[in-house]
Structure 1
Amino acid sequence: MLLSDKLTLVQVFRMTWKLDLAIILVCSLAYCVDTYWMKAHISIPVTITTVLGTALAFFIGFNNNQAYDRWWEGRKLWGAQVNDSRSWARNLQHYCDMSAAGETPHLVNTMIFRQIAFNYALKTALRKSDDTYYEGYLSKKDMERLDESQNIPNAILAIQAGDLRALRDQGAVDGFAFLELNSLLVKQCDNMGGMERIRNTTFPPSYLFFTRVFIWFFVIVSTFMLSESIGFWAVIFGWAIGFVFHITHQNGIHLMNPFETNPMSLPLDSITRTIEINLLDMIGHRPLPSPVAPVNNQYLL
């Protein structure tokens, strides 16, 4: 996630220089073709580029709207997960009778540690990475139960449900508290399901492919049309047209998969670390881990 709403020219150049060179090359070739061959045979009407540009703008706009919807839904789900994690830890601390039979205080702390592990395991699953940081918050018994699991975050929720029942059986929570705590587990399962739906639903590849093709076609046709009236300046204006359409389309592509590790993606490292700090602070654990540092002071992962 970007930390600033402003970009310097240097940052823009670093992100787009390869695309700039490709557009200039294509526009230069189109100018040469029109100047030395096509101009003698056909003239491109202005209305063609007008219609193509309007249609392409609507096409890219729809693409970007759908991409932002995916990104924003992911952000809302992780925001809900932050709140549900805090509520889970708070309710465990204050709804449980610590003087009940059994090792209630120890079990409560274990369940709060396990909540931290759940969020880190969920992040790992969404990013399809091999990060095992979450294992540090799980007991040896928990790890043994997770060995055969195909969905580790879901298995952690199942263990939480089992321990919640144990608290009820020990008399540490009454019926109302049990229902409240269980509802938080259900909410977290819903959050996880929404995130998995976004992660596993691929944006139609044909849509992306043809959008790129149409943009390049529009850039070439625009260069043909402009070269007949402004000469070599058509290369510059063709680059400007291509730059606008390509960058607009790329912004949408970067938002389509909000759980990736690029500057436009959701800052899952930062969000999970925030949850970790909050929950450890609630149980008085010291020292607390430091917040995630920005990458080059520009964005958070």
Structure 2
Amino acid sequence: MNTSSHYKLKHFIPWTRRKIYKMFLLSIVPTTLYYFFDCKWLAIPWVPVALLGTAAAFISGFRNTQTYSRTWEARQIYGSIINSSRAFGIMIRDFIRDVDSTKEAELHKELIYRHFSWLTVLRFQLRESKSWENVKTKSYNREYLKYYKVPEWESSLEDELKPFLNEEEIKYILTVNNKSTQILAMQSEQLKELNKGGFVTDYYYAVIENQLKDLYDQQGKCERIKNFPYPRQFSSINLYFTNVLCLLMPLGFIGEFSKLTEKFGENIIWLTIPFSIIIGWVFLVLEQIGESTENPFEGSANDIPITQITRNIEIDLREMLGEQDLPTPILATNNIIM
């Protein structure tokens, strides 16, 4: 997530520079052929270009609206995880009781620390790369990684779990397929044993189990966004429309500027190049921005900051346990926070 007021041009222009190169090439070739080799047939009416531009703008607008909705939904889900985690911490602290205060504190810590492990495993799962994601496959996104780090790519899950789970639990979790699901199952199993042992009443047991169900719901919503890409048919048609428009746009400009040669001279044809670059860049960048927004957990600079959110939840729940030695909040690097 970018925490500044806007992306700076010194970052944005290099990120999109290939679009500028592309439009320069697409415009200079037909302009040169028209001017030097008298290829008058390259001049086409502006009407079909305008109609195609309208269609491309509509499709781009539709795509960007939908991809933004995916990102905003992902942020809402993690907002619910924040609230549910705080509620879970309060319930564990206040509902599970024992005459031995030391044992009671140990139970609270064990359950809440296991919740930290669930948050950790979930963010690692969400940051796994999928075939349709773009951060590692597109060169301009790989270049932009120099401005920030994705924590889940810099460390191992096993090391991250060591402060929260014992060796036996870590060994088990690393062998299962859906690790976050099994951690919640472990929570439920321990709560059942605590209920049998009289550490938590039947009513409170049911309330905490319902809270686990809510965490499962939020996890499932995250998995739905992560595992189901923006429909490829809409993504493809936007790409095709935009590229066809960029191909025809210089020809349309040549047609329009050729009408002005008697008044302003033949050199006016060269205005085709800057006009094509500017307008084509706008359409191509809209397509690129939509692409960079459609996967809110992929590890891009526009991701939902799930690492920061997880750390903030950990700080809140550690304070509920009365701990003083708290982890430091995660801060932005070059205005990018993960």
Q: Same fold (TM over 0.5)?
A: yes
Q: For the aligned residues, what is the CA RMSD?
A: 2.0
SS at structure 2 position matched to 1:136: coil
2:192 — aligned with what? 165
Aligned-residue identity in percent: 26
2:299 — aligned with what? 261
- For 1:241, the aligned partner's letter is I
Separation of aligned partners in 2, 1:126 and 1:168: 33
Separation of aligned partners in 2, 1:108 and 1:245: 54
State whether residues 34 and 224 of structure 1, in contact with CA within 8 Å, keep that contact through their aligned partners in structure 2.
Answer: no
TM-score (norm 1): 0.93
Separation of aligned partners in 1, 2:213 and 2:62: 34
Q: How much does 1:247 deviate?
A: 1.2
Q: Does 1:73 align with 2:73?
A: yes
Separation of aligned partners in 1, 2:41 and 2:96: 85
SS at structure 1 position matched to 2:98: coil
1:151 — aligned with what? 178
Flag structure 1 segments of 5+ consecutive residues without an equivalent.
none
1:48 — aligned with what? 48
1:32 — aligned with what? 32
2:114 — aligned with what? 114
TM-score (norm 2): 0.83
1:300 — aligned with what? 337
1:248 — aligned with what? 286
State whether residues 60 and 211 of structure 1, in contact with CA within 8 Å, keep that contact through their aligned partners in structure 2.
Answer: yes
2:215 — aligned with what? 188
State whether residues 100 and 170 of structure 1, in contact with CA within 8 Å, keep that contact through their aligned partners in structure 2.
Answer: no
Query: Per the alignment, do residues 169 and 37 of structure 1 end up closer, same or farther by CA in structure 2, a change over 3 Å counting?
Result: farther
Separation of aligned partners in 2, 1:9 and 1:204: 31
Q: How much does 1:190 deviate?
A: 0.5
Q: How much does 1:143 deviate?
A: 2.0
Q: How much does 1:100 deviate?
A: 7.0
The higher-RCO structure (CA 8 Å, 6+ apart) is 2
- For 2:125, the aligned partner's letter is A
Query: Per the alignment, do residues 38 and 221 of structure 1 end up closer, same or farther by CA in structure 2, a change over 3 Å counting?
Result: farther
Flag structure 2 segments of 5+ consecutive residues without an equivalent.
129-151, 258-267
SS at structure 2 position matched to 1:41: helix
Superimposed CA distance per residue, residues 134-160 of structure 1 (whole angstroms, 9 cap, x where no aligned partner): 342112232243243111100100000
Separation of aligned partners in 2, 1:111 and 1:78: 20
State whether residues 84 and 188 of structure 1, in contact with CA within 8 Å, keep that contact through their aligned partners in structure 2.
Answer: yes
- For 1:93, the aligned partner's letter is R
Superimposed CA distance per residue, residues 180-209 of structure 1 (whole angstroms, 9 cap, x where no aligned partner): 111110000011111111111122334333
Separation of aligned partners in 1, 2:6 and 2:212: 40
Separation of aligned partners in 2, 1:23 and 1:155: 51
State whether residues 199 and 257 of structure 1, in contact with CA within 8 Å, keep that contact through their aligned partners in structure 2.
Answer: yes
Q: How much does 1:242 deviate?
A: 1.1
Q: Out of 236-245 and 93-102, give the one that drifted further.
A: 93-102
One of 220, 244, 257 as aligned partner of 2:247: 220
Q: How much does 1:77 deviate?
A: 0.8
SS at structure 2 position matched to 1:99: coil
